[in-house]
Amino acid sequence: IVWVSTGGQDGSADGIYGQLYAASGASVGGEFLINSTTAGNQNAPDVAMADDHRFIVTWHDWNATDGDGVGVFAQRYDATGNPLGAEQLVNTTTAADQGSPTIDITPDASQYVIAWDSSAGGPDFEIFFQRYDGSGAAQGGETRANLPGSGDLHYPRISLNDDDGSFLLAWKNVTDGVNQGRFFSPTGTPLSAQTLDVIGVNNVVSNAPVVAMVAGTRLAAATIINNGADDDAVLATWINALVFDGTAGNDVMRVSSATPQQITTTLGGADTNWPAIFGAVRINGLSGRDAITVSSLPPNAFDIAIDAGDGNDTVSGSSAGERISGGAGIDLISYADRSQTVSISTDGQANDGAVGENDDIDDTFERFVLGSGNDLVDLQTLDHSVTVFGGAGDDSIYGSRRRDTLLGGDGNDTLLGWFGADVIYGQAGNDKIWGQRGRDQIRGGMGDDRIKGDHNDDTIFAEAGDDRLYGDHGNDQVDGGDGRDAIIGDVGDDLLIGSTSNDRIFAQGGNDTLDGGAGSDRMDGGDGIDTCLNYDTGPTGDRDKLLSIELLP
């Protein structure tokens, strides 16, 4: 327990004292002074304790100890009440007043957050916070919690999620007479818009909110409200998580929001309406072949997680920033309706989806469908096969370490197979394609393509267009298709085929077979015992030019 002792007990006016107690309620040791700086007044203490009984006390100091006006300080302690280091200044901005601090800590003491109100931006107070790791080192800088121009804000209260360190910060808005709050990720990123929690009958909230998070899924916001005629009341609001479960069968699940005040869930054609303020949103497909669509969510919804569960599922996310898991089975995630750029990396970060969506797609998906933008998909860390449908736009798609199917769609795409015996089809557009390692099957499609098979025995068919084809290592089969193509075999015993146009074929190393087809072709066998088929070197024919050809059947 911590408290303010008045009357100069610490040697100068008010000071902060503490007392340890056992679980039985018996005191442990004597009371002890917390503030090292004793000049003037130290007030408004708050304390947070971890499961191992380490604890931290924060307070504000009235005597310009931080250089100007009121400042916020903190002191860390071990489980027996011994100080860990010296008291530290919390606020970085020292102009004007910073006070009324609040603190919470994770059960394992790996993270704690201190928040306070500040008049540095004057004339109104705003709410700021500072994150710390378990050693007391600041993480990032002090951060404003409220939206700009929110009014005169005081008396912050904070609660951390025991599971992941995300936190709820609430405060009293003196200007509007309401309690407001906002949720933040473990790194201090806002997860929700600023929301109103409880409003008094006369729009007067006389005390600061009291908040608590339970496993990150619900919020208790308690306030004392002045209803007039001396009949104050204590009200509490529990904001429960929306948990939307499917069945064991093949479900069609939809989540939408027609208004900021309501979320509608649809399962089996039946709609259910929910109020739109939640501690979290959980959508669980469970088993079966499920189709889960989140078309929209209101700004008050946050901490959104989709788990498709077992079965071969299809998930279409919204723009609300979901954590998305495919679960077991061959699962598909679709951004087909996006016209802006979509990025997917499965790197455990909230950086997937269109710009600003901040989805976090895990590594359990096997199929990916893109929209009409210039999309980027990087799956090189995955250790299972994937299929990617590029759609329209100039897409960049990088496959996994296994056998993949990559389809570029329309646009000038860049496709890289990486490891595995991949199937790659550029389709329309002037595409750049690399098979890399594995016995790849590559088709260019319409357009002037640049294709390289790279390692192993690859099969390349460029189709229409003036293409540049490079078999590289391995015994490759390279067919230019229609158009004026440049074909290079490189190392290995290659089969190199031109078309009806005027092609250039360079076999280079190995015992190669060259077939120029119709047209005036230039064919160079390079090193090795090379064979040329379908040639015409006569004065009236196609007038092919042959170099370093050993066999002419």
| pLDDT tens sequence across 264-295 | 889 988 888 876 555 568 899 999 999 999 88
Of 188, 216, 239, the residue that ends a domain is: 239
Q: Are residues 432 and 505 in the same domain?
A: no
Q: Select from 302, 208, 314, 295 the least CA-distant residue to 252.
A: 314
3-state secondary structure 280-291: CEEEECCCCCCE
In total, how many domains does the chain have? 4
Contact 352, 359 (CB under 8 A): yes
Are 295 and 353 part of one and the same domain? no
Which of 40-44, 46-50, 154-158, 195-199 has the weakest average pLDDT? 195-199
Q: What is the pLDDT of residues 338-384, one digit of tens each?
A: 999 999 998 888 899 998 888 999 999 999 999 999 999 999 999 99
Cα–Cα distance measured from residue 240 to residue 217, given in angstroms and rounded to the nearest whole number: 6
Do both 160 and 207 map to the same domain? Answer: yes
User: For residue 540, what are the contacts with CB-CB under 8 A and spacing of at least 6?
Assistant: none
Residues 57 and 98 reside in one and the same domain: yes
Taking only the tens place, the pLDDT of each residue in 144-186 is 999 888 899 999 999 888 877 888 888 888 887 777 878 888 8
Q: Kindly provide the residue ranges of all beta strands, DSSP E only, lying in 27-174, ordered along the sequence.
A: 27-33, 42-49, 55-61, 71-77, 83-89, 98-105, 111-118, 126-133, 138-144, 153-160, 167-173
In a domain, 205, yes or no: yes
Question: Model-level pTM?
Answer: 0.68
| Domain around 511 | 466-553
Coil vs helix vs strand at 87: strand
CATH of the domain at 150: 2.120.10.10
Q: 333-338: which pairs have CB atoms within 8 A and are 24 or more residues apart? A: 333/361, 333/365, 333/367, 333/368, 333/369, 334/368, 334/369, 335/369, 335/370, 335/371, 335/375, 336/369, 336/370, 336/371, 336/391, 337/371, 338/370, 338/371, 338/372, 338/373
Task: State which amino acid sits at residue 109.
Answer: A
Q: Is the pLDDT of residue 439 over 50?
A: yes
Asked if residue 346 and residue 226 are part of one domain, the reply reads no
Q: Is 230 exposed, middle or buried (0-12, 13-18, 19+ CB in 10 A)?
A: exposed
Q: Could you tell me if residue 461 is inside a domain? A: no
> Is residue 170 domain-shared with residue 34, that is, in the same domain?
yes
Sign of CA dihedral 534, 540, 545, 548: positive
Task: Say if residue 219 is in the same domain as residue 129.
Answer: yes
> Token digits for 393?
């736009």
Question: Is residue 402 scored above 60 in pLDDT?
Answer: yes
Mean pLDDT of the chain: 88
The residue behind tokens 């503490």 is: 18
State whether 205 and 304 are in the same domain.
no
HSE-CB at 189 with a 13 A cutoff on CA atoms is: 11
Contacts 24+ apart (CB under 8 A), 546-552: 547/522, 547/523, 548/507, 548/524, 549/514, 549/523, 549/525, 550/525
405 shares its domain with 471: no
Q: CA-to-CA distance for 86 and 534, rounded, in angstroms?
A: 87
Share of the chain above pLDDT 90, in %: 66
Q: For residues 410 and 430, give the distance between their C-alpha atoms in angstroms, rounded to a whole number.
A: 9
Last residue of a domain, one of 398, 424, 456: 456
Same domain, 231 and 248: no
Q: Which of 413, 435, 456 is the last residue of a domain?
A: 456
Tokens of 404: 């993949």
pLDDT tens, position by position, 67-78: 999 999 999 999
pLDDT at 203: 41
- 254 contacts: CB under 8 Å, gap ≥ 6: 264, 265, 266, 292, 293, 294, 295
DSSP 309-376: -SSS-EEE--SS-EEEE--SSS-EEE-TT--S-EEE--SSSS-BEETTT-BEE-TT--EEE--SS--E
Same-domain check for residues 301 and 340:
no
Respond yes or no on whether the N-terminal peptide bond of residue 83 is cis (omega within 30° of 0).
Answer: no
Residues 126 and 6 in one domain: yes
H helical segments located in 182-333: none
